[in-house]
Amino acid sequence: MPQARLLVDLPDGPWIADVSRDFPDAGFRVLTAVPDESAGFALIRLTARDVDPVLAEMRDHEALSKVSVMARGDGVATVRIETTAPLLLAAAKRSGLPIEMPLDIENGVAEVDVTGEHERVAALGKRFDEMGLDYEVERVRQRVDPVRLLTDRQQELLLAAVELGYYEVPRQSTLTEVADHVGIAKSTCSETLQRVERTVVREFVDDLPNRPLDDDANAPETTDETDADAETEPTDETDADADSGADLDADTDAEPAPNPQTYHS
C-alpha cells in the first residue's frame, strides 16, 4: 500500500503555525490527536531551550482554548491542548485518510505521513488545496509488511537468534548454539541468517530518504544456488573458541595434505 510524506506549509492563523514560526528552533511533536466537530484535542511534546516563553505564547493564542502541562523537564514539556481550529485534522477527516502519529512541526512546516490507496492520498491533497494549504510531496513509496519479507522458517530462526543473544555486543551465544536450539545444521543456520540479514538491510536502505546505493534493478539476477555458492560464512571468533577441541564441526575440518610424489630417474 502506498505511503506518502507531504511537507505542508501551514498558513498564518492556526496556533501551531504562529507559535512554531515565532520559535523556529523549537520542535512540536503531536503524539496523539482527536478531531471533534468544532474542536480538536491533542497531546504535544514541546522541545526548546526554554519552554516557558513558548508555553506563554501558546496560552495567549486565541485558537487555543486550553493548555495543560502534563509533564516537563529540562528543555522539554508534554502539553495537552484543545484548539478551535484543528486544520490538518479537519482535512484528514474529510478525505477519510488519517494522519499517522507522531506528527512533527517546525517553523510552520508539518511533516504529514499517510498510508492508503492512491485515491485517498489524492483526496487529502485536494482538501489541502481547498483549504489553501501549500504542500509538496517529499516521497511516495510502497509500504511492505515486515512480516511478509521473511518466510516462516526465517522468522523462527531470527527470533531464536535474537532471544539467545546472538546479535548482542558482545555476542551471548554462538552460531552453533543457535543452530542446535532450532535443530538445524550450523552451515544451514549461517546461510539462512545471512539471507535474513540481507533482506532486512536492503529493506532498511530502501526506506532511507537518500538511498546511498545505486538502483540494482538492472543487475544480473542470481539464483539461490549461485548465492549459496558465493556466500561464505563470516569469521566468528566466538564460534571458533566455542567449537575448538577434539570434535570439530564438519565445515571446519582441515583438508588433509596430499602425499608427496616420488620421482624415479
256 located within any domain: no
Over residues 91-123, the pLDDT tens digits come to 888 888 888 899 999 999 999 998 888 888 888
pLDDT of residue 222: 42
Q: What is the mean pLDDT of residues 219-242?
A: 42
pLDDT of residue 145: 59
Please indicate, yes or no, whether residues 186 and 119 belong to a single structural domain of this protein: no
Please indicate, yes or no, whether residues 19 and 104 belong to a single structural domain of this protein: yes
Helices (H), 151-208: 152-163, 175-182, 186-207
Cβ neighbors of 255 (< 8 A, separation 6 or more) are none
251 located within any domain: no
pLDDT of residue 118: 80
- Mean of per-residue pLDDT scores for the chain: 78
- In the predicted model, is pLDDT for residue 227 greater than 50? no
248 located within any domain: no
State which of 142, 174, 194 marks the end of a domain: 142
**Residue 20: closest CA among 39, 40, 46, 42:** 46
247 located within any domain: no
Over residues 51-75, the pLDDT tens digits come to 999 999 999 999 999 999 999 999 9
Calculate the alpha carbon distances from 98 to 3, 165, 223 in Å: 12, 38, 41
pLDDT of residue 178: 95
Widest CA span in the chain: 109
Full domain range(s) for residue 164: 146-215+222-236
Please indicate, yes or no, whether residues 27 and 110 belong to a single structural domain of this protein: yes
232: three-class secondary structure by DSSP: coil
33 located within any domain: yes
pLDDT of residue 40: 83
pLDDT of residue 92: 84
209 located within any domain: yes
- In the predicted model, is pLDDT for residue 226 greater than 80? no
Over residues 121-149, the pLDDT tens digits come to 888 888 888 888 899 988 777 655 566 77
pLDDT of residue 144: 58
Cell of 201: 538491510
- Percent helix / strand / coil, the chain, rounded to 5: 40, 25, 35
User: d(Cα 30, Cα 115) in Å, to the nearest integer?
Assistant: 18
Please indicate, yes or no, whether residues 61 and 120 belong to a single structural domain of this protein: yes
Please indicate, yes or no, whether residues 32 and 117 belong to a single structural domain of this protein: yes
User: d(Cα 146, Cα 193) in Å, to the nearest integer?
Assistant: 16
State which of 105, 126, 142 marks the end of a domain: 142
- In the predicted model, is pLDDT for residue 83 greater than 70? yes
State which of 117, 142, 167 marks the end of a domain: 142
Please indicate, yes or no, whether residues 93 and 120 belong to a single structural domain of this protein: yes
On whether the pTM is more than 0.75, the answer is: no
262 located within any domain: no
Number of domains in the chain: 2
pLDDT of residue 147: 63
Of 16-20, 59-63, 95-99, 191-195, least confident by mean pLDDT is: 95-99
Percent of the chain residues past pLDDT 70, beyond the cut: 72
32 located within any domain: yes
34: three-class secondary structure by DSSP: strand
Please indicate, yes or no, whether residues 39 and 126 belong to a single structural domain of this protein: yes
Whether 100 contacts 121, CB under 8 Å: no
pLDDT of residue 251: 41
Please indicate, yes or no, whether residues 21 and 72 belong to a single structural domain of this protein: yes
Please indicate, yes or no, whether residues 161 and 126 belong to a single structural domain of this protein: no
- In the predicted model, is pLDDT for residue 206 greater than 70? no
